[in-house]
Chain A
Amino acid sequence: NAGVTQTPKFRVLKTGQSMTLLCAQDMNHEYMYWYRQDPGMGLRLIHYSVGEGTTAKGEVPDGYNVSRLKKQNFLLGLESAAPSQTSVYFCASSYAKWGNQPQHFGDGTRLSIL
């Protein structure tokens, strides 16, 4: 049982380049989330999805797009990377039932924008 898997683990981009981060979960969770982690700021929610084919904006959505074509996958896209998007990106997932389920996290993607 792999849980939440993120690819790639590391990436270096030049300003203006685009890329897609992939998150896959094998727990049949309905909800999925993308966060960014910056020093001293905790985790901030970028976008989330409550089911296949649905996405919604979080706290810091600007400059990012997401898609959830399959229940197990949640993609985060950067169309034109900027140095301010240098961060560690985490994907998480949780069950919908009961409304108090913990989120399960992947090990992150470390992204540097030069």
Chain B
Amino acid sequence: AQSVAQPEDQVNVAEGNPLTVKCTYSVSGNPYLFWYVQYPNRGLQFLLKYITGDNLVKGSYGFEAEFNKSQTSFHLKKPSALVSDSALYFCAVRDNGGYNKLIFGAGTRLAVHP
């Protein structure tokens, strides 16, 4: 069965420090992986995706993600966190059933402290 796990409910980081939000996946075949961010009372906004090619993917707002096939992971990273990065982050994998359907993780709340 396909699934996505985000092992941390919340990540706390000080402003200016690097941040990592973890994601592991389980899917047969090559994975298509996505990260989304959700601000309060808003919908999900697309950050970045991995389809194929370089294992380091760059996205919006200075975020990047590292794909690791052997560890089945796709961790979200940013070199220097901002208070405005505080939000709910979702990892997702494309459903092998097609039609761009996504399977989402439970989400990780990122809190960046001044």
Contacts and interface: CB of A to CB of B under 8 A. Distances in A.
A90 B43 contact: yes
Contacts of B43: 4, 90, 92, 105-108
A114 interface: no
Interface stretch (A41-49, A61-69, A73-81): A41-49
Given A42-B90, A42-B107, A101 B100 contact: yes
Nearest to B91: A42
Nearest to A33: B101
Contact of A100 (B51, B104, B106, B107): B51
Given A4-B43, A90-B43, A96-B100, A102 B49 contact: yes
For the residues of B in contact with A, the DSSP-based class is: loop
A94 B100 contact: yes
Interface residues of A, number: 27
B3 to A, nearest CB: 11
B49 A100 contact: yes
A31 B104 contact: no
Contacts of B9: 40
A16 to B, nearest CB: 28
Interface in B69-100: 90, 94, 98-100
B27 interface: no
Interface of A: 4, 31, 33, 40-45, 48, 50, 58, 90, 92, 94-96, 99-108
